[in-house]
Structures are given as structure tokens and as C-alpha cells.
Amino acid sequence: MIEHIVVVRFDEEGEMHYTVIGDERVRLFIVDDRCPNDRVYEWLERAPRSAFREIVGEDEAIGSRDDARHEAIAAKIRAARDGRSHLEPAA
């Protein structure tokens, strides 16, 4: 059983949500270079272990950089992070 988990979730509108499961040994720092006077923020809220299965279903596949779909999923994450559509016209 995994003791400490940080989940960063993008909802259907592209908004990010953070869930930290575990005690104070797991720390989440959010760094925003757009805010030089308040650049680093530590997320202190903790969720119960059950929150993970509410977000990620028991039978849901969990991908990684080692699977066949990695590049497609990585492109979607980069696009969401950059505030653009993951579907772009071919050059």
C-alpha cells in the first residue's frame, strides 16, 4: 500500500486540483514564476486515503512514461500546462 501520494488533477475545464494524502513527510511545493513576490507556496491540506480511489478508480489504468501512450498523454499535459489546446494543426 502506498503511504504518501500527491495527485495533480486537471478537470474537464483544464483547472488544476491538488490532493495530498499522507502525513507531514510528504510535502507539495507549488512554484509560480509569474508571482515573484509570492513565488513558492506549500500546500498543507491533507486528504484521507479514500480520496485517492474517489479520484482514481480501482480498475482505472495508471500510465507512465514507459507505456505506449506516453507521448500522446505527455503532449496533452504540456498543452494544459501551457494553456493551449492539445490538438494543433500539423506544420
Q: What is the pLDDT of residues 25-79, one digit of tens each?
A: 999 999 999 998 999 999 999 999 999 999 999 999 888 878 877 788 788 888 8
Query: Looking at the predicted structure, is the pLDDT value of residue 87 above 80?
Result: no
Q: Are 77 and 69 in contact (CB under 8 A)?
A: no
Q: Looking at residue 52, what is its pLDDT?
A: 93
Domain check: are 5 and 32 in the same one? yes
Q: What angle do CA 20, 22, 23 make, to 5 degrees?
A: 115
Are the CB atoms for 63 and 73 separated by under 8 Å? yes
What pTM, to 2 d.p., does this model score? 0.67
Q: Are strands 16-21 and 28-31 parallel, antiparallel or unpaired?
A: unpaired
Do 11 and 48 lie in one domain? The reply is yes
End-to-end CA gap in the chain: 46
What is the domain range of residue 85?
61-91
Residues 55 and 65 in one domain: no
Confidence of residue 91 (pLDDT cuts 50, 70, 90): low
Looking at the structure of the chain, the number of domains it has is 2
What per-residue confidence (pLDDT) applies to 5?
Answer: 95
Q: Are residues 67 and 46 in the same domain?
A: no
